[in-house]
Amino acid sequence: MQIMIVDDERIIRESFFHWFQKSGHTVETAASGAEALDKLTQAPFDLLFVDIKMPGMDGIELLAAVKERYPETLVVIITAYGSIESAVNAMKIGATDYLVKPFKPDQLSLVMEKVAQHQKRSSEYNYLKGRLEKITRFDNIIGQSAAMTAVFEMIAEVADSDASVLLAGETGTGKELIARAIHAKSPRANLPFIAINCGAIPDTLLESELFGHQKGAYTGATHDRKGFLEVVGGGTLFLDEVGEISPKMQVDLLRVLEDKTVTRVGSRRPVSVDFRLVTATSRDLDAQIDAGHFREDFYYRINVIQIDIPPLRQRKADIQLLADHFLKKLCHETTKRVDRISPRALQLLEAYDWPGNVRELENAIERAMVLSKSRMLDEADFAFLQPPGKAAAHGPALRDMEKHHILDILDQYGWNITQAAKALGINRVTLHKKIRRYQLKAGSRDNQ
């Protein structure tokens, strides 16, 4: 332990020094409060013994200064003029103990024992605090399985850097949440986070969205417009489904990543840009490269660090946690009150393979909750889930299930596309595609 004795009496400093040194501690002495503060700026100390009466800065003033600047440092007040008032005052400011001179070695031993216990409790508190922060630091991402813990650790490791990150995982695994977590933990956290789903935007529109355009660049370009590569202004740009972008766009983005400049459509003047790139894909980009659909040089540029997001079937230890989370969330968002999920229902959820991953689980909880007439979701409320291995043999039934579920949500939100898409966990473009595919119309359920 690093100990400092602060007393204007040399005999006290020397006696303390030898006693603690014999006990194996590292000891320093100071004859005044000013000298003690100076030594604290040079090295950390675990414990200070401070006399109250000293010329210049007294012990109480030194105690207050230490607690303000070094709150983790413990301070024991020593005095030859003890009083209840000064003891109470010292303890209020933060003294660990209060000793009245002269005191015996046994009293010092007791103080050191209390200090050791205090340090142990403090260490345990800091450990538990760290564990709690580790669990709650990604409060929008639910998971305690080993697979998700590894993802959380990767997020923490890559957040501080500017390296490009590729998130690889199946649809519905929460890649955008991971991207947002990386941004939130990065030095760019106070700057914009812009997410673009490359698979939902036609290539010509994506070019304008990313690069911007000059007035008159093409029909409809009635004014100058900055693209997201400029608008992001030092923040994080998240390109979801990056495997969907065309080879030409890959070349254009590769040039931006290498030059850190962007040229708006219709302009010849490059503009400097600053952003951190996070991309995501549900495709096998290695296979895409082999097939000639994805540029290898662009792949290596965006894949400096890859984080693999596990599908839900590989993190079933998280299913109960996720299901409870969605249940509480949906109860908060609606007037429906469902308190819990029965053990049999939970067993069914854990047995299911979840090809749609976390998004499918959320939709399943919502569907069961909407249709349930009980305050507890039971096995029967999830009858629409096909047992493992049976789903593939009943493809049309799955399509019917999706169709009816989408219709349920659309009806529930009065055919408000934005709200329905949000509830389904998909974007508006995808929802419009599904409406066209299933030929859904308002009131169509009445005709079925």
* Most confidently modeled range among 31-40, 200-209, 381-390: 31-40
Q: Which of 161, 395, 175, 411 is nearest to 279 (CA)?
A: 175
Q: Where are the beta strands (DSSP E) in 148-286?
A: 165-168, 193-197, 212-213, 225-226, 236-240, 261-263, 270-272, 276-281
What pLDDT, on the 0 to 100 scale, is given for residue 395? 46
Contact 94, 48 (CB under 8 A): no
Per CATH, the number for 1-128 is 3.40.50.2300
Residue 345: C-alpha distances to residues 35, 37, 380 (Å): 68, 63, 8
Contact 376, 323 (CB under 8 A): no
Q: Which of 252, 271, 255 is nearest to 198 (CA)?
A: 252
Residue 447 scores a pLDDT above 80: no
Q: Helix, strand or coil for residue 256?
A: helix
Whole-model pTM: value is 0.57
Q: What is the mean pLDDT of residues 209-222?
A: 82
Does residue 121 or residue 193 have the better pLDDT?
Answer: 193
Pick the CATH number of 396-436 from 3.30.230.10, 1.10.10.60, 3.20.10.10, 3.30.1360.30: 1.10.10.60
**Model confidence pLDDT, tens digit, residues 9-46:** 898 888 888 888 888 888 999 999 999 999 888 878 88
Does residue 448 or residue 365 have the better pLDDT?
Answer: 365
What pLDDT, on the 0 to 100 scale, is given for residue 84? 78
Distance from C-alpha of 43 to C-alpha of 73, rounded to nearest angstrom: 12
State the residue for tokens 């200064």.
65
Q: Helix, strand or coil for residue 122?
A: helix
Residue 422 scores a pLDDT above 70: yes
Of the pLDDT bands very low, low, confident and very high (cuts 50, 70, 90), residue 237 is very high
Q: Which CATH superfamily is domain 137-306 in?
A: P-loop containing nucleotide triphosphate hydrolases (3.40.50.300)
What pLDDT, on the 0 to 100 scale, is given for residue 443? 67
What pLDDT, on the 0 to 100 scale, is given for residue 418? 82
Residue 83 scores a pLDDT above 90: no
Residue 228 scores a pLDDT above 60: yes
What pLDDT, on the 0 to 100 scale, is given for residue 393? 44
Of the pLDDT bands very low, low, confident and very high (cuts 50, 70, 90), residue 399 is low
Domain segments of the chain as ranges: 1-128, 137-306, 310-383, 396-436
What pLDDT, on the 0 to 100 scale, is given for residue 128? 61
Fold match between domain 1-128 and domain 137-306: yes
**Model confidence pLDDT, tens digit, residues 261-304:** 999 888 888 899 999 999 999 988 888 888 888 999 999 999 99
- Report which residue type is found at 261: T
The pair of structure tokens assigned to 284 is 């096998």
Residue 136 scores a pLDDT above 50: no
Which CATH fold would you assign to the domain 310-383?
Helicase, Ruva Protein; domain 3 (1.10.8)
The pair of structure tokens assigned to 363 is 């939709």
Contacts of 428 (CB under 8 A, 6+ apart): 417, 418, 421
pLDDT > 90: what percent of the chain? 40
Q: How does DSSP classify residue 367?
A: H
What pLDDT, on the 0 to 100 scale, is given for residue 166? 96
